[in-house]
């Protein structure tokens, strides 16, 4: 038997129905399908057109319901709900509280995490700690984003990159070999200007210095994976799959190269969904699981970088 750790029991996702391909942007921006594909690897993204005021919570609740169903439990079996998001429906109540309400849960420990694209990794770290400490018995972790509400649709540097979506996982305490083996998190607030979304004032759209973000991503993401592997006492040869944050195909490729992992082990689906921020890793996790690539004892490394600048990684055995 292993030491106590949090184990991912199930995963569920939710996406808006509308799909925008690259040709959509050719109609009004100085761009093309080839230009977007070559620089980002993105072909399509899901966008919630005319979203309701509670769109984020709706997406998060739908992903959560699917994860709960797969786990064979109901929402009332959960005592903690964590929502990672940088596009909440409002400042308060939290998106997690609204999701809890939509799921019919009262009395749960529910709160949001704001770590941008690193939110799922940060949330996983928190869920692991809550379960190991005994504070929580079962955690529902959700990454949910409606980024389309936050971008300037005339800014070619951002609007092409992002999509809307949500992913959720159910975590329980395990004393087997399966579970979160290690996690690393990182924040450097001095780099906050590189990727931000202001709350007050006129600049209320997502702003990004793409070149600088790329440079930090291809350095910090591999660094966090190496630190997590060292903590878990494994090497890259022990990692069966790498699920990086799906921001950009070039970043994903470079992170894999820096780590020296076989490209066939690197999960990539940014071409279909674009960057859904905190939702990219659970969305990719579900696709990989459904494809039969995750079995007993499969070891996965996840890593992300987001506004903050935030970064993190985790090693998970299934």
Catalytic residue among 22, 83, 128, 245: 245
Spatial distance between the Cα atoms of 124 and 216, rounded to a whole number of angstroms: 22
The rounded distance, in Å, linking the Cα atoms of 206 and 117 is 13
**Residue 49: is it exposed, middle or buried by C-beta count within 10 angstroms (0-12/13-18/19+)?**
exposed
Angstrom distance (rounded) from CA 58 to CA 49: 14
The catalytic residue among 22, 128, 248, 275 is 275
87-106 burial: b if 16+ Cβ within 10 Å, else e: bbbeeeebbbbbbbebbebe
Q: At what angle do helices 119-133 and 280-290 cross, to 10 degrees?
A: 80
Which residue among the candidates 22, 83, 117, 248 is catalytic per the annotation?
Answer: 117
Active site residue 83: no
Residue 117 annotated as catalytic: yes
Give 39-54 as a DSSP string.
HH---EEE--SS--TT
Q: Is 46 annotated as catalytic?
A: no
Q: What residues act catalytically?
A: 117, 245, 275
């Amino acid at each position: 038997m292993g030491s106590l750790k949090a184990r991912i029991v199930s995963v569920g996702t939710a996406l808006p129905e509308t799909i925008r391909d690259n040709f959509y942007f050719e109609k009004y921006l100085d761009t093309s399908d080839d230009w977007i594909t070559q620089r980002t690897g993105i072909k399509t993204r899901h966008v919630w057109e005319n979203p309701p005021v509670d769109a984020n919570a709706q997406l998060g609740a739908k992903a959560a319901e699917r994860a709960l169903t797969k786990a064979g439990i109901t929402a009332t079996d959960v005592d903690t709900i964590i929502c990672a998001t940088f596009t909440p429906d409002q400042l308060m109540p939290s998106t997690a509280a609204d999701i809890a309400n939509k799921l019919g849960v009262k009395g749960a420990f529910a709160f949001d995490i704001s770590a941008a694209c690193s939110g799922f990794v940060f949330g996983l770290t928190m869920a692991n700690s809550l379960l190991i400490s005994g504070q929580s018995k079962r955690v529902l972790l959700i990454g949910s984003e409606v980024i389309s509400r936050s971008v300037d649709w005339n800014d070619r540097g951002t609007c092409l990159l992002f999509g809307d979506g949500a992913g959720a996982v159910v975590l329980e305490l395990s004393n087997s070999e399966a579970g979160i083996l290690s996690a690393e998190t990182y924040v450097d607030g001095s780099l906050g200007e590189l990727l931000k979304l202001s709350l007050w004032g006129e600049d209320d759209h997502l702003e990004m210095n793409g070149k600088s973000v790329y440079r930090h991503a291809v350095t910090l993401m591999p660094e966090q994976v190496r630190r997590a592997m060292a903590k878990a006492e494994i090497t890259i040869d022990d990692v069966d799959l790498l699920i990086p944050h799906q921001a950009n195909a070039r970043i994903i490729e470079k992170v894999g190269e820096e780590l020296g992992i076989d490209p066939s082990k690197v999960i990539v689906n940014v071409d279909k969904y674009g960057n859904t921020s905190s939702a990219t890793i659970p969305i990719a996790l579900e696709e990989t699981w459904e494809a039969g690539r995750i079995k007993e004892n499969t070891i996965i490394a996840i890593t992300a970088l987001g506004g903050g600048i935030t970064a993190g990684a985790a090693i998970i055995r299934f």
